[in-house]
Amino acid sequence: MPPGGGQQPAEAVTKVKIHFKAVGNAPIMRKKTFMINGKEKFRALEVFLRNELGVPPQERLFLYCDSAFAPSPDEPLLDLHQCFASRGELIVNYSLTGAYG
């Protein structure tokens, strides 16, 4: 039996720093940087932004990683952060119209 009464330590939650940047005519957020669970999928950012900005589901919302590409909605944030973070932040650009290609 392990020390501590047989309880296994809780798995640590790895948070990643996300910095949102508006592109084009997208509304600008007051707070732009958030710490989000790294196990969340990229699609969670769209849900989060829709709530923060008040964008209804019938309107398009485009998300880009570091002004370069649109990741798969199933991509874990921790993986994106490890590969594409700049100065400890994953830059996510958002727009109401297609902006990069």
Q: How far apart are CA 7 and CA 47, in angstroms?
A: 35
Q: What is the DSSP letter of 30?
A: S
% of residues, the chain, pLDDT over 70: 85
Structure tokens at 61: 């919302």
- The tokens describing 51, both together, are 């709530």
How does pLDDT run across 49-78, given as a tens digit for each residue? 999 999 999 999 999 998 889 999 999 999
Q: Residue 21's CB: how many other CB atoms inside 10 A?
A: 16
DSSP string, 14-80: PEEEEEEEE-TTPPPPS--EEEEETTSBTHHHHHHHHHHHT--TTS--EEEETTTB---TT-BHHHH
Quote the pLDDT of residue 8: 44
**pLDDT at position 101:** 55
Q: What pLDDT was estimated at residue 2? A: 43
Closest of 43, 26, 10, 49 to residue 97, by C-alpha: 26
Q: Which portions of the chain are predicted below pLDDT 50?
A: 1-10
Q: For the whole prediction, is pTM greater than 0.85? A: no
What is the predicted pLDDT for the residue at 25? 87
